[in-house]
Chains A and B, each alone.
Chain A
Amino acid sequence: MDNAIYSGRDVVEFSIWDVLRNLLLAARWTVALSLITFAAGGLVAIILVLIRNRTDRWGKHVVVLYVQLFQGTPLLMQLFLAYFGLSALGFQISAWGAASLALTLYCSAFLSEIWHGCIQAVSKGQWEASACLALNWAEQMRYIILPQAIKLAIPPTVGFMVQAVKATALASVIGFIELTKAGTMIANATFKPFMVFSIIGVLYFCLCYPISRYARSLERKMNVR
């Protein structure tokens, strides 16, 4: 009886395969949301880093404020504001759109801070030496600073990407059906939360572990030159 729910007269049984299949289907949305977040968040972060490096004081202040705002408030709150706040203001936004928007803003703040730090970490002497060789700003960035900064940036960027994959789980609170939300629904239907959430754990691990592994091999490749 534990393993069944009543649906009219019939008792519906869920096999492990049913559970796994439905979780895997939902995991697609976790992957999609993660990819959108990385791509859009990374793009916005690049723009933020450029503004911070290329403009005078006010541009820097605006970027720092932006970063502080999104780093200093809970992602959960940002998701609520993006979803319910925007619709209260009259903008119709889907859970999908709100989750993408909130996670993009959140990721861009963290990534821009990480990347800005890595550019700062390249010694001032590298800027000066390349300036003395008559390189312009774009050439300095492209050939001298970024190759060194990227090497520094890989471990913290990947570390944050893994965090971001797991952070997509919070999108479940605004009704976006990704892995965690689907898991909650299935657990409620099957009365087997332990099994369901164990599978969810394994699935998140399967998403995150390859990213870490890839990062390590990339690091090794760059150190070899």
Chain B
Amino acid sequence: MSDKPLTSEIVIEAKGLKKFFGSKSVLKGIDLTVFQSEVVAIIGRSGSGKSTLLRCLNGLEAFQEGSVRINGAELKTNNAQTLRALRQQIGMIFQSFNLFPHLSVGENLMLAPHLVHKKTKNELSTQAINLLKRVGLEEKFHAFPDELSGGQQQRVAIARALAMGPSILLCDEITSALDPELVSEVLQVVESLAQEGMTLLMVTHEMNFAKKVSHRVIFMHEGRVHEEGSSIDLFTNPKTTELKQFLSSI
């Protein structure tokens, strides 16, 4: 767990969030509050709505009912201008990395700050090199994504998200597509971010990691927050039968 004390400042606030795919209800009224520098793990079976919740928080998915506030500003999925502002504060890392295959690692890191923040070439390359150092890949600046291992690609993806200077990072099963021996190098980076005070909201199947790093764990079941609490409470003393079943099945 991070040594930094939590402030009481709310950075993510979702109220009564409901989401349907056609007639299928995926999120059935989610209330979620995340404080600054808090690390929250979301666990649950596939299809429980974990990823959808994450994707609603940065506007990748539209929701039908409820509201989301990021750093106090209301999220409106139909307003490109406010979405653009919001997405500079909230980064996302995907299961499938989604690096831009036609750009080098350095270009992957520099493109968005160049277009959105209008930084100069020098600033951009200095920042990119520093970020690559931070994830241990400074020698890969000129490499292309398909020349990297999965773990390396995911670390570049993290660096790319950090290049926009977000205060919140959403991690959507970021180690699920990795070979087992590559998982720890990515988790180490995430852990160091948590220690530096980044607000992290992560959907994960790495229970040991969730236990070790997160302040709070949320168990989702059938589109609802079924149980939540500190990571110690939730893992050692689950209250609902669904969570007990889930924990025993993994």
Tell me which residues across on chain A come within 8 A of B112, comparing CB atoms: 130, 133-135
- A-B contact count, CB below 8 Å? 59
Looking at the complex, which one of A128, A134, A225 makes contact with B84 (CB distance below 8 Å)?
A: A134
Q: Check A132–B101 contact: CB distance below 8 A.
A: no
Given the known A-B contacts A125-B94, A125-B96, A136-B80, are A131 and B87 also in contact in the complex, defined by CB atoms under 8 Å?
Answer: yes
Chain B interface size, under 10 / 10 to 19 / 20 to 34 / 35 or more: 20 to 34
Chain B hits for A123, CB < 8 A = 98
Q: Bound complex: CA of A137 vs CA of B81, how far in Å?
A: 11
Are A144 and B87 in contact (CB-based, < 8 A)?
no
Contacts of B160 in A (CB 8 A): 133
CB of A14 within 8 Å of the partner chain: no
- Is B200 on the interface with A (CB-CB < 8 A)? no
Determine the chain A residues whose CB is within 8 A of the CB of B100 once the complex forms.
Answer: 126, 129-130, 144
B115 touches A135 (CB 8 A): yes
The residue of chain A having its C-beta at the shortest distance from the C-beta of B112 within the complex is A133
Contact bitstring A109-134, B, C-beta under 8 A = 1, else 0: 00000000000000101101111111
B192 → chain A closest CB, angstroms: 21
A17 vs B141: C-alpha distance when bound (angstroms): 61
A121 to chain B, nearest CB (A): 13
1/0 per residue, CB under 8 A from A, across B64-95: the answer is 00000000000000001000110110011010
A172 contacts which chain B residues (CB < 8 A)? Answer: none
Q: Which of A132, A144, A151, A225 contacts B58 (CB 8 A)?
A: A132
CA distance A128 to B116 in the complex (A): 16
Q: Are A133 and B101 in contact (CB under 8 A)?
A: no
A125: contacting residue among B59, B98, B102, B116, CB under 8 A: B98
User: Would A132 and B102 count as touching, CB distance under 8 A?
Assistant: no
- Inter-chain contact A225/B102, CB cutoff 8 Å: yes
Check B87 against A134 for contact (C-beta < 8 Å). yes
Cross-interface CB contact of B94 among A128, A135, A147, cutoff 8 Å = A128
Residues in B with CB closer than 8 Å to A139 are: 115
The residue from A129, A135, A136, A148 contacting B98, defined by CB atoms under 8 A apart: A129
Query: A129 CA to B101 CA in the complex, in Å?
Result: 12
Could you tell me the distance in whole angstroms from the C-beta of A111 to the nearest C-beta in chain B? 22
Q: Does A205 contact B (CB under 8 A)?
A: no
CB-CB under 8 A from A137, the residues of chain B are 80
State whether A128 touches B111 (Cβ < 8 A): no
Q: Does A209 contact B (CB under 8 A)?
A: no
| From A134, A135, A137, A143, residue with most partner B Cβ within 10 Å | A134
Structural contact, A143 and B98, CB atoms closer than 8 A: no
Shortest C-beta distance, A31 to chain B (Å), equals 34
Q: B246: CB under 8 A from chain A?
A: no
CB neighbours of A136 from chain B (8 A)? 80, 84
For A131, the chain B residues whose CB sits under 8 A away are: 59-60, 87
CB within 8 Å for A134 and B60 given contacts A129-B98, A148-B101, A225-B144: no
Report Cα–Cα, A225/B112, bound state, in Å: 20
* Cross-chain contact A132 with B92 (CB below 8 angstroms): yes
- Judge whether B190 is part of the interface by a CB distance below 8 angstroms: no
Using Cβ atoms and an 8 Å threshold, which residues of chain A touch B164?
Answer: 133-134
A132-B58, A133-B160 are known contacts; what are 12 more A-B pairs with Cβ within 8 Å? A128-B60, A128-B94, A129-B92, A129-B99, A129-B100, A132-B91, A133-B87, A133-B161, A139-B115, A144-B100, A147-B102, A225-B144
